[in-house]
Amino acid sequence: MEQLKGNLSEKIDIIRQKVVSLLADIEVTIDYPEYDVEEVTQSKISRFLEEVDKLLDELEKSFYNGKILKEGIKVAIIGKPNVGKSSLLNLILNEERAIVTDIEGTTRDSIEEFIHIDGVPLKIIDTAGIRNAKDEVEKIGVEKSLKILNESDIVLVILDISKKLDEQDKMILENIKNKKSIILLNKIDLEKQIELAQIEEFSESILEISVKQKKGVEQLYRKISEIFKLNEIAVDGEFIVSNNRHKSLILNARKNLKKSQDIIRQNLPIDIVSSYLKEIIEELGKITGESVTEDVIDEIFAKFCLGK
């Protein structure tokens, strides 16, 4: 089992103790009505469940951040041949990593490199130009480019701003409609032939750049950081869920919490909630290694000194 980072373990313990406390209140109200304890009302339970749901939501969202920190953001550079894809990669890396020529189809296979933005790794992939392939090797490269496009976390589509959109450009743009993307209008040093109105429906993020003049890279970094909210991803000192098993257990806990909320909304007896609360504690306990029964008994005795 993956060892929990300190702050994640503490966060889960806080959530478990909140649910244990609520469960103990319900158990005492039902099983020990003779004791003078605060009545556990449905409104109180509802408020409590909302608070716990927010905490579980934070844990669930942190898995996404953990995945980014662990694996990096997969960034695909996509476009027709000779629009500046390899030149952009070289500019980003500040080295001649990819071969650049005026001959279309020079890049036949993908090239992968890592960079960091705000402390977060980005896996940059320069792909073969997408067009109607002229030979079998190029056809394989184009198919691989489309596969990388579909598997990437974000797509950088490069268009030559000095040329009107053609059918191949439109085909590429159609492929990014449901993905995180940035359209880069390259070669702004030349006369503009593309209007923003022609491409706005395909992406919310459109930048004008000039790879040749080394303009727009910092703006591109800022846009990627904004899209993924990289400044909110804490590398140190915060809880991060990066284990798939932990994520699954947190999702199970949230499902049981939602069932508890449904019961309260339907004004059903509060004792029905208990079984779902126990499931929440059980699922989170599988992460921290603690049991439901011991927690509840300890909480009851600590609060009400029953049986003493």
Other C-beta atoms closer than 10 Å to the C-beta of 163 total 15
Angstrom distances, CA of residue 277 to CA of 112, 116, 133, 179: 47, 42, 59, 37
Spatial distance between the Cα atoms of 292 and 296, rounded to a whole number of angstroms: 6
* Geometric angle at alpha carbon 136, from 130 and 141, rounded to 5°: 35
72-232: what fold?
Rossmann fold (3.40.50)
Report the relative pairing of strands 120-126 and 111-117 from DSSP bridges.
Answer: antiparallel
Which stretch of 45-59, 81-95, 227-241 has the lowest confidence by average pLDDT? 227-241
Q: What is the pLDDT of residue 305?
A: 53
Which regions of the chain carry the CATH code 3.40.50.300?
A: 72-232
6-69+239-304: what fold?
Four Helix Bundle (Hemerythrin (Met), subunit A) (1.20.120)
Whose structure tokens read 């997408």? 130
Closest CA to 158 of 210, 213, 236: 210
Q: What is the pLDDT of residues 13-59, one digit of tens each?
A: 888 888 888 888 887 777 665 555 556 678 888 898 999 999 898 88
Closest CA to 243 of 11, 32, 40, 63: 63
Q: What is the pLDDT of residues 127-157, one digit of tens each?
A: 766 655 565 555 666 677 788 888 889 999 9
Q: What is the pLDDT of residue 50?
A: 92
Which stretch of 24-33, 80-89, 174-183, 264-273 has the lowest confidence by average pLDDT? 24-33
Spatial distance between the Cα atoms of 74 and 219, rounded to a whole number of angstroms: 19
Which regions of the chain carry the CATH code 1.20.120.430?
A: 6-69+239-304
- Residue 96 in this model has a pLDDT that exceeds 60: no
Burial of 36 (0-12, 13-18, 19+ CB in 10 A): exposed
Q: Are 127 and 148 in contact (CB under 8 A)?
A: yes
Model pTM? Answer: 0.61
Mean local confidence (pLDDT), 69-94: 85
